Amino acid sequence: MENKPIQNVRLATMGELRENILPNFIAPLPSVDTLRAWFDEAKIPRMKSNPSARRGGGKVYFSVAAVEKFFRSRQLTGRLGQ
């Protein structure tokens, strides 16, 4: 899998994180539900494209810097990528 170079990205959707950012930190990738639970537990900021929408209504974006910091600060036994 070839990773696309991303520079100066502040926000990314879960799909973008799984495709471009997370393969640099962890392999194999956990499920979306597991990642979301980890991010919620770590209080990683997330934003909606339409903040007035309560249910559904837009993509959810996560802070890329916070996600990178999360993975750099933790060692996940047997799951770190090369």
Listed in sequence order, the residues at least 6 apart from 3 whose beta carbon sits closer than 8 Å to its beta carbon are 20, 23, 24
Amino acid at 16: E
φ, ψ for residue 62 (rounded to 5)? -110, 150
Interval 56-80: pLDDT, tens: 667 889 999 999 999 888 765 555 4
Interval 6-54: pLDDT, tens: 556 789 999 999 998 899 888 899 999 999 999 999 999 888 877 676 6
Tokens of 14: 């879960």
Provide the pLDDT confidence category of residue 1 given band limits of 50, 70 and 90.
Answer: very low
Give pLDDT, residue 32: 93
For residue 60, the cross-strand partners are: 48
Give pLDDT, residue 78: 52
pTM for the full predicted model: 0.72
